[in-house]
Amino acid sequence: MISSSILKKSQSLIALLLLMIVLSIVTDKFLTAGNLWNVLRQISVNMCLSIGMTLVILTAGIDLSVGAVLGLSGAICAGLLKSGISIPAMDLWIGFTVLGAIVAAITVGTALGLFNGWVITRFSVPPFVATLSMLTVARGLTFLYTQGQPISDLGANFEKIGAAWFLGVPVPVWISALFILVFYVLTTKTSLGRFIYAIGGNEKAAQVSGVPIQKVKWIVYALSGAMAAIGGVLVTSRLNSAQPNAGINYELDAIAAIVIGGTSLSGGQGSVKGTIIGAILIGVLNNGLVLLNVSPFWQQVVKGLVILLAVIVDKMNQKAK
Amino acid sequence: MKYVLALCGLLLFGCSSKESAEKPKIAVVISTLNNPWFVVLGESAVKNAEKLGYEAKLFDSQNNPATESDHFENLISSGFDAILFNPTDADGSIANILKAKEAGIPVFCMDREVNSNDAATSQILSDNYTGCVAIGVEFVKQLHGKGNYVEILGLAGDNNTYARSNGFHTVVDKFKGLKMLGQQNGDFDRNKAMEVMESMMQANPDLQAVFCGNDAMALGAYQAIQSAGKSQQIKVFGFDGADEVVQKIKEGKIVATGMQYPKIMAKTAAEFAVEFFKGRKDFPQHIPMAVNLVNSKTAKHY
């Protein structure tokens, strides 16, 4: 009995291992060190977005704005690095170092997330609607800020964040691993983590038992915005260029990773651990389909079916319980 | 406060402008402003119309023929007098043009074609197919007719994606020594193209070249190739003539691209609209705009 419950708990991990075994059999290009680092580097952006959004979804909310926030913070990071801020009226020009530009981008992402949290708690706007509005606003601001043109050539130091290796591991992988650790500890070992699960499980009961609901929601949306900004810095650095349309539809990949990882969209159930496996699974799937040179039309069909299958299996397990 | 007043004025009097026999207004309807190339096309059209002394407004169809249809209905009812048009779909956009035609509003297509010879007043088109035939010829020359390559296509279901790919393959496929080992979509997106290229290099370590359906993807592919330390081994070919790519061709990092002229297309369309207002009616249906090959020899001219 114990073994079957463990089996159920780790179904997404089993699915991932199965997929990897199949890929290793059908192509000898999959299971190489080069390719595996490649996959981990590619998923680092979605990893940041999806672990950030996991907290939001655990509170029974959703954050549709992550892709757009990624685009805006990436653009601001690039713009500040490239041309700083000039205030002609005061004859003032402020230049930004790499660190300064990154901090500014994360501040912007956090502020937009806080705004989401404020709108949701203060006016009781459903998270879907509040963050959908933010998606449009942030995308529009990105186009305004960039004038619809890419901001490129951001310097060798900035490019290193996305391209360099440290102790044999690509830097973006280090960065996503660090945040995985932070979010894992946050959800499993802290009172904030307990509050998050409590709100998602039953908000009224949580309120009665003294959980500071408003504060917790502000924090989760702010963290989601901050992680989107970090994703934005990573994308911008990897391309050495900020694209005005960077991050379009990324929220969907993040939600897919979370759902495949077994986190329930109705809140209260799931884990950061699951999301990590979900994000890796999507990355491996994307990589495998290209390695096998599968037609792009089929790729979309396959990806959609995998997500559906993951959720169906999850539902069946819940019923069995 | 000033803005609030201006807004009220717009709401109250916006619809009455047609009767007051003002200067004609020109609408610029662009398939998508999500792509820098089309932003240049749309903004040049607006600037040229304004330079010629007319009020002009820019509309974004967001790659959606239904949004485009809404724009056309609004434009017709709010009294615009000419439309400089970059259609979302060669077939789907015809009905929209006919609506405008019925209302007596001329439509000038820019860059992208519609499959009808009597809907638009005139179509000023970039010759994607022939441009990519030229890229194909350059491709064969640079590789001496031998080697392995991959192709990064644009967007599934987009006309230009196939016009470009077909033009390229009519030449390249004649050479049996050139083997295409992979063909994947990059959605005209720099990041997507980079990731696809990373995976294709893993699948095919022995690559000599990549052909990308636009310059944003060529830049993404180049980034992947450079990170993998293969910039000496893999030659990159793009299409569009983006400034960044022309610069990289000068530096010897990218081999060739096709130069399109969005600014000239936009200017011609704006001038046609003005000539229409002045009474000209005999516009040629098709005006093809040549696409010029840019390589290390010709890059200094751009």
Quote the pLDDT of residue B15. 43
Q: Has residue A320 been placed in a domain?
A: no
Q: What ipTM did this prediction achieve?
A: 0.82
Residue A1 has pLDDT above 60, yes or no: no
Judge if B61 and B80 occupy the same domain.
yes
Q: Using alpha carbons, select from B66, B48, B58 the residue that is nearest to residue B85.
A: B58
Judge if B206 and B271 occupy the same domain.
no
Tell me the C-alpha distance between A99 and A158, whole Å: 9
For chain A, percent of residues with pLDDT exceeding 90: 80
Judge if B121 and B267 occupy the same domain.
yes
Please tell me the least confidently modeled range out of A135-139, A172-176, B5-9, B46-50. B5-9
CATH code at position B200: 3.40.50.2300
Return the residue of B nearest to A285 by Cα: B199
Q: Has residue B8 been placed in a domain?
A: no
Q: Has residue B9 been placed in a domain?
A: no
Looking at residue A316, what DSSP letter applies? H
Judge if B55 and B145 occupy the same domain.
no
Judge if B66 and B85 occupy the same domain.
yes
- φ, ψ at A44 (rounded to 5°): -60, -35
Q: Has residue B137 been placed in a domain?
A: yes
The pLDDT tens digits along chain B (302 residues) read 445 444 444 444 444 444 445 788 999 999 998 888 999 999 999 999 999 999 999 999 988 889 999 999 999 998 999 999 999 988 889 999 999 999 999 999 999 989 899 999 999 999 999 999 999 999 999 999 999 999 999 987 777 899 999 999 999 999 999 999 999 999 999 999 999 999 999 999 999 999 999 999 999 999 999 999 999 999 999 999 999 999 999 999 999 999 999 999 999 999 999 999 999 999 999 999 989 999 999 999 88
Residues of A in contact with B223 (CB under 8 A): 238-240
Judge if B67 and B49 occupy the same domain.
yes
Q: Does residue B191 belong to the interface with chain A, where contact is any CB pair within 8 Å?
A: yes
Quote the pLDDT of residue A320. 67
Residues of A in contact with B184 (CB under 8 A): 290, 293, 296
Q: Has residue B230 been placed in a domain?
A: yes
Q: Confirm if A257 and A137 have CB atoms less than 8 A apart.
A: no
Q: Has residue A14 been placed in a domain?
A: no
Structurally, chain A folds into a number of domains equal to 1
Return the residue of A nearest to B247 by Cα: A153
CA distance B192 to chain A (A): 10
Give the CA distances from residue B275 to residues A195, B52, B53, B58, in Å, rounded to whole numbers and listed in that order.
Answer: 69, 11, 13, 20
Q: Whole-number mean pLDDT of chain A?
A: 92
B/e letters for A141-174, b = 16+ CB within 10 Å, e = fewer, are bbbebbebbbbbebeeebbebbbeeeeeebbbbe
Residues of B in contact with A296 (CB under 8 A): 153, 156, 184-185
Q: Does residue A35 belong to the interface with chain B, where contact is any CB pair within 8 Å?
A: yes
Cβ A241–B198 below 8 Å, yes or no? no
Q: Confirm if B209 and B147 have CB atoms less than 8 A apart.
A: yes
CA distance A293 to chain B (A): 6
Judge if B49 and B74 occupy the same domain.
yes
Judge if B82 and B138 occupy the same domain.
no
Which residue is associated with the tokens 């026999």? Answer: B21
Alpha helices in chain B (DSSP H): 2-13, 36-51, 65-77, 94-102, 128-143, 159-172, 190-203, 215-227, 243-250, 262-277
Q: Does residue A152 belong to the interface with chain B, where contact is any CB pair within 8 Å?
A: yes
Quote the pLDDT of residue B158. 77
Rounded to an integer, the average pLDDT of A43-69 is: 97
Residue with more model confidence, A233 or B290:
A233
Q: Does residue A66 belong to the interface with chain B, where contact is any CB pair within 8 Å?
A: no
Judge if B277 and B255 occupy the same domain.
no
Q: Has residue A15 been placed in a domain?
A: no
Per-residue pLDDT band at A2 (split at 50, 70, 90): low
Q: Which of B227, B230, B243, B250 to mutate to test the interface with A (most CBs of A within 10 A)?
A: B227
Residues of B in contact with A165 (CB under 8 A): none
Quote the pLDDT of residue A8. 64
Q: Confirm if A225 and A113 have CB atoms less than 8 A apart.
A: yes
Which residues form the domain of B186? Answer: 128-259
Tell me the C-alpha distance between B39 and B42, whole Å: 5
Quote the pLDDT of residue B19. 42
Cβ B199–A147 below 8 Å, yes or no? no
Alpha helices in chain A (DSSP H): 2-9, 11-26, 33-58, 66-83, 98-122, 127-146, 156-163, 171-189, 191-201, 203-208, 213-239, 250-260, 272-291, 296-320
Q: Using alpha carbons, select from B94, B86, B30 the residue that is nearest to residue B60.
A: B30
Q: Does residue A209 belong to the interface with chain B, where contact is any CB pair within 8 Å?
A: no
Q: Does residue A293 belong to the interface with chain B, where contact is any CB pair within 8 Å?
A: yes
Q: Confirm if A160 and A175 have CB atoms less than 8 A apart.
A: no
Residue A274 has pLDDT above 80, yes or no: yes
Burial class, B65, CB count within 10 angstroms (exposed 0-12 / middle 13-18 / buried 19+): middle
Tell me the C-alpha distance between A86 and A95, whole Å: 8
CATH code at position A236: 1.10.3470
Residues 121-150 of A with CB under 8 A from B: 143, 147-150
Rounded to an integer, the average pLDDT of A278-305 is: 91
Tell me the C-alpha distance between B242 and B259, whole Å: 8
Q: Does residue B87 belong to the interface with chain A, where contact is any CB pair within 8 Å?
A: no
Quote the pLDDT of residue A116. 98
Judge if B103 and B133 occupy the same domain.
no
- With a CB cutoff of 8 Å and minimum separation 6, the contacts of A289 are A298, A299, A302, A303
Tell me the C-alpha distance between A242 and A81, whole Å: 11
Name the residue type at position A10: S
Judge if B246 and B161 occupy the same domain.
yes
CA distance A227 to chain B (A): 19
Tell me the C-alpha distance between B293 and B251, whole Å: 17
Judge if B101 and B177 occupy the same domain.
no
pTM of the complete model: 0.85
Tell me the C-alpha distance between A295 and A306, whole Å: 17
Rounded to an integer, the average pLDDT of A13-39 is: 92
Structurally, chain B folds into a number of domains equal to 2
Q: Has residue B12 been placed in a domain?
A: no
Q: Has residue B284 been placed in a domain?
A: yes
Return the residue of A nearest to B226 by Cα: A163
Q: Has residue A26 been placed in a domain?
A: no
Q: Has residue B7 been placed in a domain?
A: no
CA distance B198 to chain A (A): 7
Quote the pLDDT of residue B14. 44
Q: Has residue B298 been placed in a domain?
A: no
Q: Does residue A111 belong to the interface with chain B, where contact is any CB pair within 8 Å?
A: no
Which residues form the domain of A299? Answer: 38-313
